[in-house]
Amino acid sequence: MNSAVRSRTTLRSRSVQTAVAAVAVGALAAGCSSAGGEVDGGDDDGQVTIEFMQWWEPELPDGALAGLIEQFEEENPDINVELLSGPFASIKDQVIAGSASGTMPDVLGLAGSWVHDFATQGSIANLTDVMTEYGYDDSQLGAQVRVDGSAYSIPVVNFAYPMFINNELMEEAGAEVPTTRSEFVQVAQQVTDATDASGFVAALGLEQPNGIQIDIMPWNWASGGTMLTDDGGPAADNEDVHETVAFIKELWDAGVMAPGGLTMAEQDKVEEFTNGRVAMMVSSLAHINLIRENSPELDFSVVPMPVVDGYTGESGVRYAEWGIGMSANTEHPEESWKLIEFIMSEDANGELSGFANGFPGNANVTPDLTDADPVFQDAFEIWQAGYPASEFTGLPLADELMRIFDQELQHVLAEDKPIDEAMSAVQQEWSGTF
């Protein structure tokens, strides 16, 4: 082969190689972009697929949510629902990332503390407008989480947070169920002195600072207190909050609180109670199943939160909700709203709240308590006797507000920072955030 022929052959070979490489790049680019092909969720057969992201499925009995979704799909044969499920913390991170990047799922589970931030970022839809557009009668909704007067989330299931009591430890200590704060201090001390357990537990870890709304503020709300002004502004330095923090400090200094609380998470707290290491805790009714499952022999009951001595008014009962909302950028608003409407319908909502051991978000549904856990029946009485209280719901940067409070509370407990000083610092930072 002469050099000219070899050169041509080499050039042809190089051209082929370059073409192969170009195809590889093309394939790579196609691979990178293939995920975008189904972004609109429109299928070839005219069906629409919508995504529903929530943390509910892992907390419900197996197949409960999937069964409801199947029913929805049967009633709406042109809509497919893709369930995206995960633990609460994981869903929260994914929803925040989705909000930041504008890739939220069509329909999503919402905690009350997220709503303000997503609404102001414009990533979740204004449901007041949506309900008006589709002619929905919202009088059947028990509540709506509003920002600037418009609803952005609808509570699907509500969970009350009463005081859980370990009856065996109480009996061993010869203590009666406390109804006031001073009785509570006394009982907690009795249990701590007479048993190997602690009187009370609060999970104040900073990873999830929701211990502030679960373990601390309910004391305030139970006695009719508030942490807000009449017009919804911050009032962390008011007398109610001050007294509540002083009460927690008294428990801390008396050594009746379970050790490790400053880095404890909610699940650790429930575990302490489940294992009989703590006599009293504030917790969600959603944990009844978990406690029964992990410690079937544990004898426990739920009682109303003790109140300030001499208080006779109505008690605020802390609650959390599984809220539902939809993406502001969904390409299928009608189908997304149909799913929300279905979940809030009397039948589906009653069924879902029954599975979850919670109270229904649809005001027309009365929970069926005939076969319910006796503890749940007691809780329903507590819920009916008080009023729902969850002041962090709908506030801006609610998690951050709790974290600020938590950090200052930790200074009070661990470093004896004066309460006045700590609450002034909280008020100052909250004012900036509001």
| Binding footprint of another protein on the chain (CB under 8 A) | 7, 10-11, 14, 17-18, 21-22, 24-25, 28-29, 32, 93, 96, 100, 117, 120-122, 205-208, 258-264, 268, 277, 397, 399-400, 403, 406-407, 410-411, 414-415
Q: How far is the CB of 271 from another protein (least distance, A)?
A: 9
Cα separation of 369 and 206, whole Å? Answer: 37
Nearer to another protein, 71 or 407 (CB): 407
Q: Name the amino acid, one letter, at 421.
A: E
Nearer to another protein, 207 or 347 (CB): 207
Cα separation of 305 and 181, whole Å? Answer: 9
Q: How far is the CB of 303 from another protein (least distance, A)?
A: 26
**Token code pair at residue 65:** 């949510």
**Token code pair at residue 429:** 């930072």
Q: How far is the CB of 98 from another protein (least distance, A)?
A: 12
Cα separation of 174 and 82, whole Å? Answer: 53
Q: DSSP states of 304-343 as a string?
A: PPPB-TT--SPPEEEEEEEEEEEBTT-S-HHHHHHHHHHH
Nearer to another protein, 121 or 384 (CB): 121
Q: How far is the CB of 326 from another protein (least distance, A)?
A: 19
Which among 180, 143, 175, 133 has a CA at the least distance from the CA of 336? Answer: 133
Nearer to another protein, 205 or 323 (CB): 205
Nearer to another protein, 29 or 194 (CB): 29
Q: Name the amino acid, one letter, at 33.
A: S
User: Do strands 316-326 and 387-389 pair parallel, antiparallel, or not at all (unpaired)?
Assistant: parallel
Q: How far is the CB of 231 from another protein (least distance, A)?
A: 24
Q: Please return the burial class of 168, using the count of CB atoms within 10 Å of its CB with bins 0-12, 13-18 and 19+.
A: middle
Nearer to another protein, 381 or 416 (CB): 416
Q: How far is the CB of 264 from another protein (least distance, A)?
A: 7
Cα separation of 295 and 275, whole Å? Answer: 7
Q: Name the amino acid, one letter, at 82.
A: E
Nearer to another protein, 49 or 120 (CB): 120
Question: How far are the Cα atoms of 73, 308, 313, 345 from residue 224, in angstroms, in the given order?
Answer: 45, 9, 7, 33
Q: How far is the CB of 158 from another protein (least distance, A)?
A: 25
Coil/strand/helix, residue 47: coil
Nearer to another protein, 357 or 427 (CB): 427
Q: How far is the CB of 429 from another protein (least distance, A)?
A: 11
Q: Is 376 left (phi over 0), alpha (psi -120 to 50) or beta?
A: alpha
Q: How far is the CB of 207 from another protein (least distance, A)?
A: 3
Nearer to another protein, 14 or 314 (CB): 14
Q: DSSP states of 336-361 as a string?
A: HHHHHHHHTSHHHHHHHHHHHTSEES
